[in-house]
Amino acid sequence: MAARLYLLPVILLVERSKVKITVERKLKMSDIFGKQIPKSIKKGAEEDCPRLKVGQEFLVMEDGQMPAGFCGWAWHDVHRELTHLRFGGDFPWMEEPGVVYACCTDALRPVIFKLQRIK
């Protein structure tokens, strides 16, 4: 318990940024499997993610809470990169500081997101 109380002031002093999440691309099952959709997938299953639309934007505030309307599964998948950006981190493979691309791990209908730190 003492360790947690000791770290609390440090956590509160760290500057946090907002992060904008933009839905960049939605892949379809046919993008992944071609015309040979596995028989184990239900017939009539949604071809792509029904929850999000390309171009849709979400804003994560300094408190880091999931924005209303965002998919909980995708939130879990992009949370690591999002937190890195919120606390000022950058990614060495990205030319533009404060930006990274991440995706949800729905293997049948993945969604690609652009995460961008907002100052």
Q: Determine which of 21-25, 42-46, 68-72, 95-99 has the lowest per-residue pLDDT on average.
A: 42-46
| pLDDT, average across residues 49-58 | 96
User: What's the mean per-residue pLDDT of the chain?
Assistant: 90
| Band of residue 12 on the pLDDT scale cut at 50, 70, 90 | low
What pLDDT sits at residue 10?
55
Q: Are strands 18-26 and 111-118 parallel, antiparallel or unpaired?
A: antiparallel
**Rounded CA separation 92/28 (Å):** 30
In this predicted structure, the answer to whether residue 55 has a pLDDT above a threshold of 90 is: yes
Q: Which of 11-20, 24-33, 64-73, 84-93 has the lowest mean pLDDT?
A: 11-20
Q: Which pLDDT belongs to residue 7? A: 54
Residue 98 and residue 90 in contact, taking contact as beta carbons nearer than 8 Å: yes
